Amino acid sequence: MLVEAMALSDAEWQAIVLSLKIAGSAVGWILIPGIAVAWLLARHEFRGKALLDGLLHLPLVLPPVVVGYLLLLSLGRNGWLGQWLNQGFGFSLPFTWQGAAVAGGVMAFPLLVRAVRLSLEAVDPKLEAAAGTLGANRWRVLFTITLPLAIPGLLTGTVLAFARALSEFGATITFASNIPGETRTLPLALYTLIQTPGKEAAAARLCVLSIAIAMLSLIASEWLARRARLRLEERDR
Amino acid sequence: MSDASRHSPPLAHLQAAPARGGADALECHVQKRLGDFSLDISLSVPASGVTALFGQSGSGKTSLLRLIAGLDRPDAGRVRLGERTLTDIANRTHVPIHKRQLGVVFQEARLFPHYRVRGNLTYGMPPSARPCFDDLVSLLGIEPLLGRLPGTLSGGEARRVAIGRALLTQPRLLLMDEPLTGLDGERKQELLRYLVRLTREIDIPVVYVSHDTAEISAIADHLALIEQGRLTAHGQLDELMMRLDLTDRLGGFDAATRLSAKVVDHDSRYSLTRVALDDGQTLRIPAIEQPPGTPIRLRVGVRDVALAHVMPEGTSYRNGLSAVIEAIEPSPQAPSASEVRLRVGRQRLRARLTRQACDEMQLKAGMIVIGLIRSVAFDSRFQSGNKGL
């Protein structure tokens, strides 16, 4: 009886799996560009740096619906980028789960960049200069000194970005719509249930599920961070 | 401690290119403006031995080191190491740091916190340096530290690891920026002894930045005096120490000169070591742990030398050196004193006497006198292991 009550329905499973898939892909596609941009901002001075910084933060301060609408304008079937994608590769983003991943990624990008940039700035440039005197070129310095020392911030940024993509609602529903099995993630499913009279219990279940997933990802990141630290310390044993 | 000397020379592999026949001299002519301060120095560093860049803080010696290392770019001028141009502003040449093959030891150890000591040591080590890893590690006394993380090391230990790490890259030139700064007395003496041993073992020119005369007289062969961004004196340290006009800069009240000698034998009963100068005269100094035949350098304070016409009897002076007076000049240090320059064999020595004593003894240039030096005046902290192993 209890077990039956605890068991997840197909629709719930679908929403969970879809949410994880979309949030995971979102983090996946922004990870490398995010680190690159954070490194650029943390270690270099160039013209237009303030402008780039401001643009990056737009998704944080704009209403998500605006971001979703802008995505629709640029990546939609008639958008300049969307047309090119569609004609060149027969590929269309709006109303697909890939589109939801793009929306989640765009919304999560500033959070990732902020966390990574802070941790990169905390790496002592004197250590990088010392590595240079030991014959290490830029790339070796980046991969053996800068990034390893920034790993805690990288993990924090990744978890933040994942959580942001997981909870993404406004941009997703605007750009990718609310299609069951395709773009109906947990928040969208929850929203749908709330709109449906008599589904309060089901909504509460999704609520609890969301909390559980959030807790799990926090615990996982803690564990990863500890493991990364140990790995770093053990590397030349 | 002295084991390292027996398998000679264990650190030969540290030379970048033994086939090229020896190390390279460094030539630099650099100008740089840093706010109100301007640096304008032409300096050549011999291909062997330790050259000290000496000056007060803010004199520009660290700035010069950074220009040589390629950490900064001069406004004008050039830096050459042997045949190789490292920087030439006129030709728009500036070899990046990682291609310069220079070892740099910074004031702070700058060890990588996420690598163990072994990982730090091997970070820039080419395979050709592998054969001397063990010897260098034992020479620096860091064997027991190999598995530790830098965060757990003491200041002196971390410096030694940093020195090893720089040497294992097989540098053509080793640059050291006040490597003893911030260590307490005991640790400082210990690291200085390691440094002196090391600089005698390796055949790589060393540029050593310091503002401490005692430290420099223990380790340096050559000296470049830097004041307000300019080179004001440059040459063999032994010669510069004889110059009265530099006394203010090189020790002042505690000015000293150096004698080179060889260990003859040890008197374990009184804990004394007998050493011989090049002309065969001997001195007794507090015991040092070096086998007979070891060349050493003695720092002799100008106030520790007394003069007599004949060797006195019934005196506590253990050492009397027959010496010829070269010159007697008024001391720049005190109106009461005269500086007497002496020749002992082929070496030179300074004595600071009261003018009154000079007059009463009727000392004159060309006169043969006895230079009296108390054995306890030799500072074993700076003597031992000097001119090395």
Which one is predicted more confidently, A7 or A76? A76
* pLDDT at residue B254, as a whole number: 80
What does the alpha-carbon distance between residue A136 and residue B151 come to, in Å, rounded to a whole number? 22
| pLDDT, position B6 | 40
Contact A127 B96 (CB under 8 A): no
Q: Would you state the pLDDT for residue B120? A: 95
Q: Across the interface, do A235 and B166 touch by the CB < 8 Å criterion?
A: no
CB pairs under 8 A between A and B: 65
What number is the average pLDDT over the span A19-41?
A: 94
Confidence (pLDDT) at A136: 93
* Confidence category of residue B119, pLDDT binned at 50, 70, 90: very high
Beta-bridge partner residues of B102: B173
Predicted confidence at residue A236, as pLDDT, reads 41
Which architecture characterizes domain A8-234 according to CATH? Orthogonal Bundle (1.10)
Quick check: A149 contacting B, CB < 8 Å?
A: yes
Residue A91 clears pLDDT 90, i.e. is over it: no
Model pLDDT, residue B382: 53
Spatial separation of the C-alpha atoms in residues A171 and A100, rounded to whole Å: 8
Section B370-375 average pLDDT: 90
Report the residue of B62, B110, B133 to disrupt the A interface, i.e. the one with the largest count of A CBs within 10 Å: B110
Contact B98 A232 (CB under 8 A): no
Work out the angle at residue A162's Cα, subtended by the Cα atoms of residues A160 and A165, and round it to the nearest 5 degrees: 110
DSSP string, A105-174: HHHHHHHHHHHHHHHHHTS-HHHHHHHHHTT--HHHHIIIIIHHHTHHHHHHHHHHHHHHHHT--HHHHH
Which of A133, A139, A230, A234 to probe by mutation at the B interface, max B CB count within 10 Å? A133
What was the pLDDT predicted at B86?
92
Q: Which residue of B has its CA nearest to A134?
A: B124
| pLDDT (0 to 100) of residue A180 | 86
Flag whether residue B210 sits within 8 Å of chain A, measured between CB atoms: no
Band the pLDDT of B385: cuts 50, 70, 90.
very low
Q: What is the pLDDT of residues A138-178, one digit of tens each?
A: 999 999 999 999 988 888 899 889 988 998 999 999 998 88
Q: Using the 8-state DSSP alphabet, how is residue A8 labeled?
A: P
pLDDT of B36: 87
Nearest 5°: phi and psi at A161? -65, -40
CA distance B116 to chain A (A): 7
Between A229-233, B10-14, B43-47, B191-195, the lowest mean confidence (pLDDT) is in: B10-14
- The dotted CATH code for B2-242 is 3.40.50.300
Highest mean pLDDT among A6-20, A121-135, B372-386: A121-135
- A87 close contact with B: CB closer than 8 A: no
Q: What is the mean pLDDT of residues B3-22?
A: 49
Q: Do B169 and A145 touch (CB under 8 A)?
A: no
Two tokens, residue B131: 């054969």
Sign of the dihedral defined by the CA atoms of residues A18, A23, A25, A26, in that order: positive
B71 closest CB neighbour out of A129, A235, A236: A129
pLDDT for res B375:
87
Rounded average pLDDT over B14-24: 55
More confidently predicted of B227 and B185? B227
pLDDT band at B324 (very low <50, low <70, confident <90, very high): very high
For chain B, give the mean pLDDT. Answer: 85
| Whether pLDDT at B94 is above 80 | yes
Q: pTM score, two decimals?
A: 0.81
Residue numbers in A near B147 (CB within 8 A): 237
List of chain B residues whose C-beta atoms are within 8 Å of the C-beta of residue A134: 98, 123-124, 165-166, 169
pLDDT tens track for A168-191: 999 999 998 888 888 899 899 899
Question: pLDDT tens digits, residue range B261-310?
Answer: 899 999 989 999 999 998 889 999 988 888 898 888 888 888 889 999 98
Nearest by CB: A135 against B98, B115, B147: B98
Query: For residue B333, what are the contacts with CB-CB under 8 A and spacing of at least 6?
Result: B247, B248, B252, B253, B255, B352
ipTM of the complex: 0.80
B80 in contact with A at a CB cutoff of 8 Å? Answer: no
Residues of chain B contacting residue A235, judged by C-beta atoms under 8 Å apart: 114-115, 119
Residues of A in contact with B62 (CB under 8 A): none
Give alpha helix (H) positions in A1-145.
2-6, 10-43, 49-61, 64-75, 80-89, 97-121, 125-133, 138-141
Return the residue of A nearest to B123 by Cα: A134
Task: Please check whether residue A126 touches B, CB under 8 A.
Answer: yes
Residue B73 contacts A, CB cutoff 8 Å: no
Evaluate if residue B389 carries a pLDDT over 60.
Answer: no
Give the pLDDT confidence of B237-266 residue by residue, as tens digits: 888 888 878 887 787 778 888 888 899 999
Q: Which of B97, B112, B122 sits opposite A132 (nearest CB)?
A: B97
Domain range annotation of chain B: 2-242, 257-383
Contact yes or no for A154/A147 (Cβ under 8 A):
yes
CATH 2.40.50.100 at B257-383, yes or no? yes
- Write out the two tokens for A145: 């000194």
B107 CA: distance to closest CA in chain A (Å) = 11
Q: What is the CA radius of gyration of chain B?
A: 22
- Mean pLDDT within A56-84: 88
Sequence ranges of the domains in chain A: 8-234
